[in-house]
């Protein structure tokens, strides 16, 4: 998996526009000579997993295409506190103009990767995989889901157009699980995967009678999850969701589910502290 510049260039440009405003960097422009050249090192200030190195580098390139950039680390790499990640050389004003946006992006993405890696390692002896959700920062979904990938997790659907996910509200409006599934299979197209959310075993017993791809086992206890996995018996992919945290992740994984989705990874992971030193 690799991020396309077509995705992140617009994000960078919007972020820079927000930071620069209408007057530019009035601090640097009033203090630093216009042609001053510097060398700066981007450095990890904590242990973690890097994600977004290309995006962070592109911020500098957009601010000044003549800035020389040397990437020392790569996405998915473990780094330790004090380790150099990237070196940039060029115009001082341009480097300082790019600094905060670049650090904001790579710190956020690396924070997600770092937390994902912790969950992945905690369940490494099981068959389960850690999965993200659509609980992402508006406009940053592609970056955040890529960061989950860099930490060893897998991606759920990217958007509403990616796959059918029939949840409780859809079932309530459709009138029944049967009506919702039949309508989806009729209208969504034969290439589209279908997942159905259930929150009890009776619903699950209904769902497995249909030709669907995934069943989401929502907010079930480990005991119920084990029973659900036995009922499914490998016929479809099982996904545990809701109330997942680091304290219970291993117990959930040991129930035999295939996927464990965690919205916290993208909406609440702390940043990885990364700085830029002249």
- Point out the residues that are catalytic: 100, 135, 167, 197, 218
Category of 135 on φ-ψ map: left (φ > 0), alpha (ψ -120 to 50) or beta: beta
CA–CA separation, 55 and 137 (whole Å): 17
Residues forming beta bridges with residue 70, ordered by sequence position: 87
Judge residue 159's burial from the number of C-beta atoms within 10 Å of its C-beta, 0-12 exposed, 13-18 middle, 19 or more buried. exposed
Give the sheet arrangement for strand 274-277, strand by strand.
Answer: 68-71, 84-91, 37-44, 274-277
User: Are 52 and 71 in contact, with CB atoms under 8 Å apart?
Assistant: no
User: Are 203 and 177 in contact, with CB atoms under 8 Å apart?
Assistant: yes
User: Are 266 and 234 in contact, with CB atoms under 8 Å apart?
Assistant: no
Q: Helix, strand or coil for residue 97?
A: helix
Residues 6+ apart with CB under 8 A from 181: 166, 194, 196, 207, 210, 212
Q: Are strands 259-261 and 129-131 parallel, antiparallel or unpaired?
A: parallel
- Within 10 A of 260 (CB to CB), how many other CB atoms are there? 25
């Amino acid at each position: 998996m690799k991020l396309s510049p077509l995705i992140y260039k617009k994000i960078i440009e919007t972020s820079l526009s927000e930071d620069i405003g209408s007057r530019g960097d009035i601090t640097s422009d009033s203090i630093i000579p216009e042609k001053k050249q510097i060398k700066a090192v981007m450095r990890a200030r904590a242990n973690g997993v890097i994600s977004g190195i290309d995006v962070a580098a592109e911020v500098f390139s957009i601010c000044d295409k003549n800035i020389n950039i040397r990437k020392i680390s790569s996405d998915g790499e473990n780094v330790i506190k004090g380790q150099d990640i990237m070196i940039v050389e060029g115009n001082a004003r341009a480097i300082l103009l790019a600094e905060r946006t670049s650090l904001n992006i790579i710190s956020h993405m690396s924070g997600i990767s770092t937390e994902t890696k912790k969950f992945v390692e905690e369940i490494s002896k099981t068959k389960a995989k850690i999965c993200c959700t659509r609980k992402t920062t508006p406009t940053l979904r592609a970056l955040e889901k890529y960061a989950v990938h860099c930490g060893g997790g897998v991606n759920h659907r990217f958007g509403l157009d990616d796959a059918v996910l029939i949840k409780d509200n859809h079932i309530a409006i459709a009138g029944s699980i049967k009506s919702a599934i039949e309508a989806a299979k009729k209208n969504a197209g034969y290439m589209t995967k279908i997942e159905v959310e259930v929150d009890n075993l009776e619903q699950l017993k209904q769902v497995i009678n249909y030709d669907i791809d995934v069943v989401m086992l929502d907010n079930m206890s480990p005991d119920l999850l084990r029973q659900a996995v036995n009922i499914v018996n490998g016929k479809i992919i099982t996904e545990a969701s809701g109330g997942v945290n680091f304290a219970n992740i291993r117990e959930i994984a040991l129930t035999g589910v295939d996927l464990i989705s965690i919205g916290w990874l993208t909406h609440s992971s702390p940043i990885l502290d990364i700085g830029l030193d002249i």
